[in-house]
Amino acid sequence: MKLHLFRGKRYTQVEKARQKAHSFFITLSVSGLDYSHIYTPSGKKYAEGTNNSFGICFPGYIIDFSYNSSRENYVLACETEGIYHEDNMLFPVMEHDGMKIPLLKGRRLTCGETLALRNIFERIIALKDSPLPGNIFMAEQLAISLLGELAVKDELTTDPEYPDPPAKKLKQMIDRDIRFEVSLKDCCKKTGYSVSHIRKMFVRHFGIDPGEYRQRKKLERVFSLMSAGNMSLKEVAGEIGMKNVTHLNLFIRKRCNMTPGELYRNFRNKKSFPELIL
């Protein structure tokens, strides 16, 4: 599989259009999307976009979309070899090292995932704008790595929405524990597998370590509570299982490179999402 990145751009203007994709697109929609419908050249529906979503689109496909004044989305325009999709295919396919790897057309993201991918898209665009060949090479390698985020983890016939029950069970336990009262170790034990084994299963099916997934869920919860604007820092800390504001301060500094107070002001002033430190 080869990829040549010839343009990357962040869009913020209000726009409503029906356009034909002139190249292979890797896209990230953060906010402001009213609707997005993508059709193959034959007119068959290919995919629908939403806010907090990430996907791919092929040359010649028709994109019918509308963005409002809160628009923020990113598009990487590329020339590719070894990646294709046809009307009768369940998934697009990427050829790599003699293998045919099925890809999701797109996927919805959590708030934390959107922030993480937003940072990657911005870095790719910055590297691409550099005159240094090494930076352009790095931008294209990062763009290829984004496709890995869409790789279907099992065989082509496997439904990616239904991974092995133990890994799914662990994810459900993490998702339900919104106050973070149960330790990750205890959650792992409840699956009936050893901690090391269930971690490997989780990574294989969801592409992320369960500990990191739980931390991102915790950050999502912090964003949700702070954006409401009616809780003290002590109350926010308590809601995510932290004993005091000091722990919250360390957590937010590590993840967002700012203090809780600065993060609160960020939401109060309705600025963009803070930069996420992974």
Backbone angles phi, psi at 189, to 5 degrees: -60, -35
Q: What is residue 167's predicted lDDT score, i.e. its pLDDT?
A: 85
pLDDT digits (tens, 9 = 90+) for 109-119: 888 889 889 99
Separation between Cα atoms, residue 133 and residue 137, nearest integer Å:
6
Residue type, 163: P
pLDDT digits (tens, 9 = 90+) for 149-162: 888 764 333 444 44
Q: What is residue 138's predicted lDDT score, i.e. its pLDDT?
A: 92
Q: Is the pLDDT of residue 101 over 90?
A: no
**How does residue 164 score in pLDDT terms, banded at 50, 70 and 90?**
low
Give the CA distances from residue 278 to residues 56, 117, 212, 213, 216, in Å, rounded to whole numbers and listed in that order. 24, 11, 9, 11, 9
pLDDT digits (tens, 9 = 90+) for 14-56: 999 999 999 999 999 999 999 999 999 999 999 998 999 999 9
Q: What is residue 270's predicted lDDT score, i.e. its pLDDT?
A: 56
Q: Is the pLDDT of residue 163 over 60?
A: no
Q: What is residue 87's predicted lDDT score, i.e. its pLDDT?
A: 81
Separation between Cα atoms, residue 46 and residue 130, nearest integer Å:
34
pLDDT digits (tens, 9 = 90+) for 171-210: 989 999 999 999 999 999 888 888 888 888 888 777 788 9
pLDDT digits (tens, 9 = 90+) for 209-265: 899 999 989 988 888 888 877 889 999 999 999 989 999 999 998 888 888 888 877
DSSP code string of 186-209 = HHHHTTTS-HHHHHHHHHHHHSS-
Please give the helix or strand (H or E) that residue 90 lies within, else none.
Answer: none
pLDDT digits (tens, 9 = 90+) for 65-80: 999 999 999 999 999 9
In this structure, the chain runs to a length of 278
What's the rounded mean pLDDT across residues 116-125? 92
Please return the burial class of 278, using the count of CB atoms within 10 Å of its CB with bins 0-12, 13-18 and 19+.
Answer: exposed
Instruction: Report CA dihedral (268, 271, 272, 276) to the nearest 10 degrees.
Output: -60
Q: What is residue 239's predicted lDDT score, i.e. its pLDDT?
A: 93
Q: Do 160 and 152 contact (CB within 8 A), yes or no?
A: yes
Separation between Cα atoms, residue 249 and residue 233, nearest integer Å:
9
Q: What is residue 70's predicted lDDT score, i.e. its pLDDT?
A: 94
